[in-house]
Amino acid sequence: MPVTTAQDFVECFWSGVTARTRVIFLSHITSPTALIFPVDEICRRARRAGILTVIDGAHAVGQVSLDLAALDADFYVGNPHKWMLSPKGSGFLYARRDAQPLVEPLVVSWGWRPERPGPSRFVQEQEWQGTRDIAAYLSVPAAIHFMNAHDWDRVRAECHALAGYARSALTNLTGLAPLSPETWDDGVPGAPAWFAQMISLPLPPCEPQALKQQLYDAYKIEVPVIQWNNRHLIRVSIQAYNTRAHVDALVSALTRLLMSSSHFAAGVALR
C-alpha cells in the first residue's frame, strides 16, 4: 500500500475490493506502524457499495478526535485504556443501529432476554453477562471529564509536536527515511497528519528483542522494537507526561547502542 497521500492510499486500497467483498476490516491507527489511515473515506465508499465496515480503533480513542456518527462505520471497537487514561477492561463496541441485529453475544446469562426488555435489545444482550466487575467501564466518564477539564485538544497537539520532534531526531540519527510523509497531502498546509501521538521509525538491521531489553536494562527506557515486513521499527509513544528530555534520552541511548553495534548488523553507519 502506498503511504504517500490519503487519496493514493484509498484508491490503492479500493482496487482490492471486488464484487465478492462483503466486509472491510481496517485499523484506524495501526499498531506496528502507528499510521492513521483515512478510514472515513473508505467507510463512505463501502456504505455506497453495500459493504459492511469493521474499524479497529484501539489506538485511536483518545489519541485523535473521534465522531462515530460522522465516521458512519458499521462497527467500531475501541480501548479507552490506551490513550484515554482509563484502566484495562474499559473497551467498547459501537454498532450502527441498522447493523445491531447482526451481532450475537458471545457470553450470556440468565437475564439476557428479560420479560420486560429495555429500549435497546442490542445493549441488553451485550451487557448482560451475569456477575462481573464493571469498575473499568464506570471509570470512562471520569476519564472524559479529566480530558475536557485539561483541554485535551491542546494536550494532543503538544504530544503530536513532540512526536514530530522524535521523528526528526531519530531520522537524523539513522539516516533512514520515515514510513510516510508528515501529512496525508504532503505540502498542503493544515492537511491531516499520518501520525498522532506515536510514531514508528525504521532502524538499521538489528536484533529487536535484544535491543529492546538493552534499552530497558541500561537506560530504563521502555519502547517497542519490532520486526515488521522484513524491516526493523521502533515505536515511540508520547503522552501528556512525556517531555523533550525523554525523547533526547532515547536518542542518546540509541546513539550509544548504534555506535557500539552490539545489537546491529555489521557495517551500520550513522549519518
* Domain match, 27 and 42 both: yes
Condensed to tens digits (0 to 9), the pLDDT of residues 41-100 reads 999 999 999 999 999 999 999 999 999 999 999 999 999 999 999 999 899 999 999 999
Q: What is the pLDDT of residue 262?
A: 60
CATH of the domain at 246: 3.90.1150.10
CATH of the domain at 11: 3.40.640.10
Look up the domain containing 55 and give its range.
6-149
Q: What is the pLDDT of residue 162?
A: 98
Task: Give CA separation, 132 vs 30, 125, 136, 166, in Å.
Answer: 30, 15, 11, 41
Last residue of a domain, one of 79, 114, 149: 149
Percent of the chain past pLDDT 70, that is, above it, reads 95
Q: What is the pLDDT of residue 128?
A: 77
CA-to-CA distance for 212 and 222, rounded, in angstroms? 7
175 and 203 Cβ atoms separated by less than 8 Å? no
Question: For 12-35, what is the mean pLDDT?
Answer: 97
pLDDT value at 267 more than 70: no
Report, in angstroms and rounded to the nearest whole number, the Rg of the chain calculated over CA atoms: 21
143 and 163 Cβ atoms separated by less than 8 Å? no
Q: What is the pLDDT of residue 264?
A: 59
pLDDT value at 134 more than 70: yes
Condensed to tens digits (0 to 9), the pLDDT of residues 154-176 reads 999 999 999 999 999 999 999 99
Instruction: Name residue 29's beta-bridge partners.
Output: 36
Question: For 200-227, what is the mean pLDDT?
Answer: 95
- Name the pTM for this structure: 0.90
